Amino acid sequence: MSTPVPTVLSAPQGTSLQSPPIPQGAGSASTPSTAPARIGATQRDGSSSLGTFGVKSGLAQMLKGGVIMDVVNAEQARIAEEAGACAVMALERVPADIRAEGGVARMSDPEMIKAIVDAVTIPVMAKVRIGHFVEAQILQAIGVDYIDESEVLTPADDEYHINKHPFKVPFVCGARDLGEALRRISEGAAMIRTKGEAGTGNVVEAVRHQRAVMSQIRQASVMSEEELYVYAKTIGAPFHLLKETARLKRLPVVNFAAGGVATPADAALMMQLGCDGVFVGSGIFHSGDPAKRARAIVQAVTHYNNYKILAEVSENLGPAMVGLTIDANLKGGNFAARGH
Amino acid sequence: MAEIKPRRSVVGILALQGAFAEHRTALEKLSLSRKLQILLVKTPEDLAQCDALIIPGGESTTIALLARLAGLSEPLKEFVKVKPVWGTCAGAILLSQAVENAKKGGQELLGGMSITIARNGWGSQVESFEAPLEVEGLRDPSSPFNGVFIRAPVILQLHPTTDDPPITVVARLAPGLLPSGLATLNASDEPRTFVALRQGLHFLTTFHPELTNDNRFHEYFVRECVLAGK
């Protein structure tokens, strides 16, 4: 039966007085999609609405089963598109270089991002510093398709993340566990990724974060309502989002892997652990043969359960990026600890 | 003694990249679903078992490349010639005869419907929107359908030859909602307002019925294209 479409709420900028939205419509959930929450939506001539949570989380759903690749110029963006990337992340320095060079990492030059937008037909994402809502306003103005409020850049605010609801452009945010993921969704993130440890070529942190999220979802899914109230407090998650997650038995938005993926096997590992898709940062353009490795990772994400294809695409890719051990001496520090 | 059961129709969903899981969920909820077997298609062997196919939303360039690398390009082109196929968004682009705003160097299509389509017709993601659609031929046609348009393509032109099956319009968008610059067009036969088309066994929607709880388009495809000849 058809679901009646609720009246559109257009939230005035800077206020969100409506009851909190429950984002809907993610992934392979057994019961996805009622009409999405509409805080932040703006109306166009009375009958259509732009920037609804439905179109924000919907774009993430279209990216599922795909690979989003970090690129620093139009030429790399074209290589990524030809290799089957479902989107590119435009940035001035890949995380491995941010780590090596140090200093404050900021939003990229809008002109450089626009050159990448013009070079490809696939969606273009770009990063802003945690809490830097003006960088986000600028990226929305130049028409990027997704914003990553990213711990890879130097945080602009060590307490508050951006209130992402009033933006028409959707946001993806990193998370290390379920509480962090649901806090970001509560702030308006329409997509979640593991934080991992970017720029290391070491997948261990991404695995840790994905396992933590999945384990906590499994625990929550068998809890009584009384237990969920207490668990929400324990993990610092909004109750209504935790309850919805427990019902769906998955995050209520799309969840990608990120931070340390360097090989097709790494990508397939994250998919088998329950991710919906994969970000690859330094792993492609810091390797011996970027085009070939990019294509192999794209195939590995599609065929993540087909061991024969995984073996074929892993052959003869040339040197992978140099990996780093993640310990107290890690150059550039632990990015994943930024934001909470 | 083997029990003789009527064979169920196998509806495949191309599962290379994009929102294929959402289509499966929508099909499973149909009251017709017991007449169907649903199969996620990643290889030519999977496709060979199918009686009909849904090509989901995603990135058309990614799906076309993965199809080629999986050895599915030619089998898909053969499949489209004879079997029912529904394309949503990226899938609609792949079913078109010609595409504008293709990636540099052009991109591979499957064909099947005699139309020209433009990718990203409204622009970037900040122009993505939801709007009520006028529908024809669906169950409960007086009730508008909530169309979810995400970096959606625009149908530019219909060009069926006399040998092609006729094209019917199943859903339209109000002319005022067209991309800026085109919004003044008011003719009811303007192809840019067409957002769901049927031609013979083929069906396309430039928006995403699988992202809503309204399964009337899934029901339409199964009833009109998949089970009609049974």
The percentage of residues in chain A with a pLDDT greater than 70, rounded to a whole number, is 86
Instruction: Report yes or no: A252 at the B interface, CB cutoff 8 Å.
Output: no
Helix (H/G/I), strand (E/B), else coil: A87 = strand
Rounded to two decimals, the ipTM of the complex is: 0.93
B230 CB within 8 Å of a chain A CB: no
Catalytic residue (choose from B23, B89, B218, B225): B89
| CB–CB contact B130 A52 (8 Å) | yes
Residue A19 has pLDDT above 50, yes or no: no
For B40, the 3-state DSSP assignment is strand
Q: What is the pLDDT of residues A276-318, one digit of tens each?
A: 999 998 999 999 999 999 999 999 999 999 999 999 999 999 9
What is the per-residue pLDDT across B45-94, written as a single tens digit (0 to 9) for each? 999 999 999 999 999 999 999 999 999 999 999 999 999 999 999 999 99
Quick check: A55 and B125 CB within 8 A? yes
Alpha-carbon span A260 to A130, nearest angstrom: 20
Please tell me the predicted confidence (pLDDT) of residue A27.
Answer: 40
Q: Does the annotation list A38 as a binding residue? A: no
Report whether B139 belongs to an annotated binding site.
Answer: no
- Contacting residues of A for B140, CB less than 8 Å apart: 2
Q: Please check whether residue B176 touches A, CB under 8 A.
A: yes
Q: Which of B62, B99, B180, B186 to mutate to test the interface with A (most CBs of A within 10 A)?
A: B62
Structural domains of chain A, ranges and CATH numbers in brackets = 49-313 (3.20.20.70)
Rg over alpha carbons for chain B, rounded to the nearest Å, is 17
Answer yes or no: B159 catalytic: no
Q: Is A148 annotated as a binding residue?
A: no
> By the 8 A CB rule, do B22 and B213 touch?
no
Provide the pairing of β-strand B145-149 with B194-199.
unpaired
CA of B210 to nearest chain A CA: how many angstroms apart?
A: 9
pLDDT at B186: 59
State the pTM of this model. Answer: 0.91
Alpha-carbon gap: A125 to the closest alpha carbon of chain B (Å):
10
pLDDT band for position B230 (50/70/90)?
low
Whether the CB of B148 is below 8 Å from some CB of chain A: the reply is: yes
Whether the pLDDT of residue B172 is over 50: the answer is: yes
Helices A74-82 and A110-119 cross at an angle (nearest 10°) of: 30
Q: Verify whether the Cβ–Cβ distance B213 to A144 is below 8 Å.
A: no
- A-proximal residues of B, 93-122, CB under 8 Å: 101-104, 119-120
Q: What does each C-alpha distance from A203 to A145, A210, A300 come to in angstroms?
A: 27, 11, 16
Q: Which fold has domain B9-226?
A: Rossmann fold (3.40.50)
- Hey, is the C-beta of B151 within 8 angstroms of any chain A C-beta? yes
Q: What is the pLDDT of residue A153?
A: 96
Per-residue pLDDT band for A17 (boundaries 50, 70, 90) equals very low
Alpha helices (H) along B55-96:
60-69, 73-82, 90-95
Nearest to A66 among B17, B123, B132 (CB): B17
Contact B205, B55 (CB under 8 A): no
Residues 60-79 of A with CB under 8 A from B: 61-66, 78
Alpha-carbon gap, residue B88 to B120, rounded angstroms? 14
Q: Which of A67, A75, A94, A60 is nearest to A313 (CA)?
A: A67
- Predicted confidence at residue B40, as pLDDT, reads 97
| Helical (H) or strand (E) element with B116 | strand B113-118
pLDDT digits (tens, 9 = 90+) for A37-95: 444 456 555 578 899 999 999 999 999 999 999 999 999 999 999 999 999 999 989 99
Q: Which chain B positions have a beta carbon within 8 Å of A78's beta carbon?
A: 104
State yes or no: pLDDT of A23 exceeds 90: no
CB contact set of A133 (below 8 Å; sequence gap of 6+): A162, A163
Is the CB of A299 inside 8 Å of chain B's CB atoms? Answer: yes
The pLDDT-based confidence of B32 (bands split at 50, 70, 90) is confident
Of B17, B57, B103, the CB nearest to A121: B103
Min distance B46 CA to chain A CA atoms (Å):
13
pLDDT tens-digit readout, B112-151:
999 999 999 989 999 999 999 999 999 999 999 999 999 9
Percent of chain B with pLDDT over 70: 93
For B207, half-sphere exposure in the C-beta direction (CA atoms, 13 angstrom radius) is 27
Residue B34 binned pLDDT confidence (cut-offs 50, 70, 90): confident
pLDDT of residue B229: 63
Nearest to B129 among A55, A78, A123 (CB): A55
How would residue A11 be classed by pLDDT, with cut points 50, 70 and 90?
very low
pLDDT of residue B179: 73
Residue A95 · residue A281 · CB < 8 Å: yes
Residue A145 predicted with pLDDT over 80: yes
Query: How much is the average pLDDT of A128-147?
Result: 98
Catalytic site includes residue B224: no
Write down the pLDDT at residue A328: 87
Residue B150 marked ligand-binding: yes
Taking the CA of residue B35 and the nearest CA in chain A, the distance in Å comes to: 19
Q: Name which of A32, A55, A302 is nearest B17 (Cβ-Cβ).
A: A302
Buried b (16+ CB within 10 A) or exposed e, A56-81: bbbbbbbbbbbbbbbbbebebbbbbb
The pLDDT, as a whole number, for residue A260 is: 95
The reply, when asked if residue B106 is annotated as ligand binding, is no
pLDDT at B174: 86
CB of B140 less than 8 A from some CB of A: yes
Percent of chain A with pLDDT over 90: 77
**Using 50, 70 and 90 to split pLDDT, how confident is the model at A8?**
very low
Contact B90 A62 (CB under 8 A): yes
Annotated binding-site residue? A179: no
Q: Name the band, by pLDDT with cuts 50, 70 and 90, for residue A198.
A: very high
Looking at residue B190, what is its pLDDT? 86
pLDDT tens-digit readout, B150-169: 999 999 999 998 889 999 99
